[in-house]
Structure 1
Amino acid sequence: MSQSNSDTKQNSASNRGASAKARRATAKATAPASQAADKATEKAGDQASAAVGAAERTAQAGTAVVHGAAERVQAGRQAVVAASGQAVALAKTAWTLIAHRKLLAAGVGAGLSALGATSYLAGRRSGRRTHGPITRLTGGRI
């Protein structure tokens, strides 16, 4: 039995040495693949973070576009309201003129009459001969 015990120890020691060699050989053989896998994982992580950044920038740009469009719609709405208000004011003025057309015609006629009378009097005054101070004092007798 003692021989078998010593054989067992020898086999396990040689087995341990062989398994350690196999592990080292496997590590050496898989080291380049492991490094390549690590680099690929790192690159994938970088690309994923770049994609997330691009998605965020795209979302921000989309939000800015939507916000700008909303502002333009609001400005257009205000312009339409202002234009409709001006159209209503113009229509109201026109209706007032039509409703009071008789008074308007009378006012225009009176204004033209006053203008004609004023120009007639100004023309008569400018058409007179100038007199000296003594002639004016005596009323034109001397």
Structure 2
Amino acid sequence: MTDSDKETNKKTAAATTAAKARQNADKATAPTTRTARAAATKTDEAASTAKAGAQRAADATSTAAHTAAKSVEVGRQALVSASGQVAAGAKTAWTVISHRKLVAAGVSAGLTALGAVSFAAGRRTERHTQGPVTRLTGGRF
């Protein structure tokens, strides 16, 4: 063999040895690689689950905040409405107090009219019915 053939054999032997070393390393690290891939997959799943949980928690917090804001707005509107009613009642009371003489006169006139109407209605119901001849003669016969 010539020197160039020997060098080719050395290169081929070195390549074969390197390939075998790689295969042996692959075989030796295969279980570790599978375990690492499985762990990475589980880590990805856990991260995805954690992200989904965080999103649900954020959604729940957002919903709670939105509900609280609505409640505050409803309470504010109720307070405004109540204060408006109180103000209207106070204004009415002040008007009654400032015009108390006119209110008293109106109440007394109303009570007087009510009494007169009830008296007239009572008198009308207490009247005895009369026949046509008695009415014609004015009750003399």
Same fold (TM over 0.5): yes
Task: Please give the alpha-carbon distance, in whole angstroms, between the structure 2 residues aligned to 1:113 and 1:32.
Answer: 110
- The 3-state SS of whatever aligns with 1:131 is coil
- Correspondence for 1:86: 85
Shift of the alpha carbon at 1:129? 4.1
Q: 1:109 maps to which residue?
A: 108
Which stretches in structure 1 are left out of the alignment for 5+ residues?
Answer: none
Q: Distance in 2 between matches of 1:3 and 1:123?
A: 153
Match of 1:54, SS state, is helix
Q: Tell whether 2:34 aligns with 1:38.
A: no
The CA distance in 1 between the partners of 2:122 and 2:36, in whole Å, is 111
Query: Which amino acid in the other structure matches residue 98 of structure 2?
Result: A
Partner of 1:134: 133
The 5 Å alignment of 1:55-70 reads: 55-70=54-69
* Partners of 1:137 and 1:125 in 2: CA distance: 19
Which stretch has the larger CA shift, 50-59 or 76-85?
50-59
C-alpha separation in 1, matches of 2:15 and 2:81: 93
Q: Distance in 2 between matches of 1:117 and 1:8?
A: 143
Which residue of 2 is the match for residue 75 of structure 1?
74
- Give 5+ residue unaligned stretches, structure 2: none
Moved over 6 A (4+): 2-6
Q: Distance in 2 between matches of 1:26 and 1:3?
A: 34
75-84 or 53-62: bigger deviation: 53-62
TM-score normalised over the length of structure 1: 0.83
Q: CA 1:102/1:41 → structure 2, altered by over 3 Å: closer, same or farther?
A: same
State the TM-score, normalizing by the size of structure 2. 0.83
In structure 2, the partner of 1:27 is 26
Distance in 1 between residues matched to 2:140 and 2:15, nearest whole Å: 160
Which residue identity is paired with 1:28? K
In structure 2, what is the equivalent of residue 96 of structure 1? 95
RMSD, aligned α-carbons: 2.4
